[in-house]
Structure 1
Amino acid sequence: MLYLMLRPVESRDMRFWPVQPPSFRSSVDRYSAEAAKVVSCLLRFMAVDMGVEPERLLELFGGQPQTMKVTYYPPCRQAGKVIGLSPHTDACAMTLLLHVNDVQGLQIRRDDGKWLDVEPLDGALTVFVGGVIEILSNGRYRSVEHRAVVHPDKERIAAAMFHQPLQSIMVEPLPELVKKDGGGARYKSVGYAEFMRRFFSAKLDGRKSHLDHFRIY
């Protein structure tokens, strides 16, 4: 796995950026900028869909903090006995996933508990809504549980671009959406740092979903 801080640009530590192949750094730089444009468009579309101002979500993502994780899944003859990436929901705002070599391995959990294969489409990105957006949208957009499995005789490579909000924000349902819902917030308010702390502790203690802690039933 290769994990890099990409945005804001001043957060990059080039000691960890590979120098081979020679095109790596410039390619990642361009890909980072284009991915940020896609996310900006999606956030505007989602805001309009929810009936709030088009720039409302973008206000919470100034500078669009962004990280990239490239993961290599080697083939395994006993693929049914191992897992490539354990089930989870993303804690960020939005993830853009690129299937680099078009080998299937991504699965999402349906409401009935069964796992559904997500077939990679050539030239397409898979978009995941993260827990931050689920809370900001007061549940209108759901963060889907997913996992990665391995192939018995093919290697798989996937590149995920994670887009986070500003570190200073409160993760809470947008007031205008709470008002639309009759004053009913479906999630508690929490600072982003605490939100992320609970996300990582939830992975350690095996809870079904770290979002369960914030839901108001």
Structure 2
Amino acid sequence: MVRNDHRIVPDRYIQEHEKRPFLKTQNPTSYEIPIIDFSLLTKRDEDEQKKLDYACKKYGFFQLINHGVVEELIQRMKSAEAACFDLPLEVKKKYAMAENDVQGYGQVFVVSEEQKLDWADIFFLMTYPPQHTTYKNWPLIVPDFKETVEEYSAEICRVSEEILANLSLLMKMKEDGLKELHKVMRLSTRMNYYPPCSKPELVLGLSPHSDSGSITILVQHDDIPGLQIRHQGQWIPIKPLPGAFVVNVGDTLEVWSNGVFKSVEHRAVTNARKARMSIPIFVRPDDEAEIGPVDTMLCDNNGQALYKRIKYIDYVRSYLDRKLEGKITDSLKLPEHVGVAAYGETKRRFGIDGDGDGGGRGRRGLGL
């Protein structure tokens, strides 16, 4: 669509007035989220662990430097992503998401023909571990795509395990505590392409949401800002830091930590002059893993658990059975910690008292 006429902004992509990003009224100054030195975390440096603890409690986001993933591999991954989106539309459609699947090319969280769409295209792939990966929706026509993605995913897995080990210690667990809770740690990769938009103040590249997994590790392209996080009631732009990853807390870690670590709403905005790309990798538990507050974190709330226990797959079903809009972790809270309306939503989503298992998955649609 954009290739045919970049001036067109169809009604389907124009957000309702209250949801528009209002770019012209925002402070252009980027907010400095905490910067964590990965090399110090590997040494279990207590000061750096305190910074990590603070970042996860107060912001839910941080930038990670000295992570050890070589720049050459990062650039290969970025080039592979660019090559995927450069493919002709008729070729990309061959990798389109199936009706009841999130893997492939298109847009996710499309649950009706009336809802507004995000100004973005994506490839969403399950990328780690290799033995649990299927390749039917992978754009293997791109040279060295499979090898690059698998090598990059393995490196992100290494980084993730180290972050989770430090978080485990902060949660008063043994180092491999969080890794064990994952059962089989799985990585999903989403490649995002945000075309330039002639009226960026009317659209969203990615709607506000939090991530369902434990942590997310994002690499941004170039120096084009687009990521924004909700902090103290405002949308704050996060400026790309050369060579750094952006890491954020997901819903699962928030629940495991009994609400101490915060998953935070974030979104992506567009601009009128240049396309933007990014690659988040979502670290998530095995489908059969249980999410619920760990015993060591109950002391932070007078011994009370804020959230119910549930299989991760049931949470994911509810997460996918809706459009991408805000956080839904309140749906996991125990009734004594939420209002009547929120508890009713919990019952509907998760089948308390035998009402079901959270429903099916939303429909998918091709994007720009």
TM (norm. structure 1) is: 0.92
Q: What is residue 280 of structure 2 aligned with on the other side?
A: 160
Post-superposition Cα deviations, 1:132-178, rounded to whole Å, max 9, x if no partner, equal: 00000111210010000001111100101011112112210001222
1:66 offset after TM fit, Å? 0.9
Q: Contact between 2:181 and 2:290, CA under 8 Å: does it hold in 1?
A: no
The answer to whether residue 159 in structure 2 is matched with residue 38 in structure 1 is: yes
Cα distance in 2 for partners of 1:164, 1:10 equals 16
> What is the correspondence of 1:26-175 to structure 2 with a 5 Å cutoff?
26-111=147-232, 113-175=233-295
Higher share in strand: 1
1:202 offset after TM fit, Å? 4.6
Cα distance in 2 for partners of 1:191, 1:143 equals 19
The answer to whether residue 317 in structure 2 is matched with residue 197 in structure 1 is: yes
1:179 offset after TM fit, Å? 4.5
Cα distance in 2 for partners of 1:168, 1:123 equals 35
1:19 offset after TM fit, Å? 2.9
1:110 offset after TM fit, Å? 1.2
1:203 offset after TM fit, Å? 3.1
1:7 offset after TM fit, Å? 1.5
Q: Contact between 1:85 and 1:147, CA under 8 Å: does it hold in 2?
A: yes
From the CA coordinates, give the structure whose radius of gyration is larger. Answer: 2
Q: What is residue 99 of structure 2 aligned with on the other side?
A: none
State the aligned residue count.
214
Q: Contact between 2:130 and 2:150, CA under 8 Å: does it hold in 1?
A: no
| More off after superposition, 78-87 vs 18-27 | 18-27
2:333 partner letter: R
Cα distance in 2 for partners of 1:193, 1:106 equals 28
Question: Cα gap change, 1:193/1:19 in structure 2, threshold over 3 Å: closer, same or farther?
Answer: closer
Gaps of at least 5 residues in structure 1 are none
| More off after superposition, 153-162 vs 61-70 | 61-70
Post-superposition Cα deviations, 1:102-133, rounded to whole Å, max 9, x if no partner, equal: 3110000112x210000011111100110000
Cα distance in 2 for partners of 1:59, 1:91 equals 18
Q: Contact between 1:202 and 1:209, CA under 8 Å: does it hold in 2?
A: no
1:85 offset after TM fit, Å? 0.4
Q: Contact between 1:7 and 1:63, CA under 8 Å: does it hold in 2?
A: no
The answer to whether residue 329 in structure 2 is matched with residue 211 in structure 1 is: yes
1:25 offset after TM fit, Å? 1.6
| More off after superposition, 98-107 vs 26-35 | 98-107
Question: Cα gap change, 1:147/1:180 in structure 2, threshold over 3 Å: closer, same or farther?
Answer: closer
Q: What is residue 140 of structure 2 aligned with on the other side?
A: 19
Q: What RMSD over aligned residues (CA atoms) do the two structures have, in Å? A: 1.6
1:101 offset after TM fit, Å? 3.1
Cα distance in 2 for partners of 1:184, 1:72 equals 43
1:58 offset after TM fit, Å? 0.7
1:19 partner letter: L
Q: Contact between 1:202 and 1:210, CA under 8 Å: does it hold in 2?
A: no
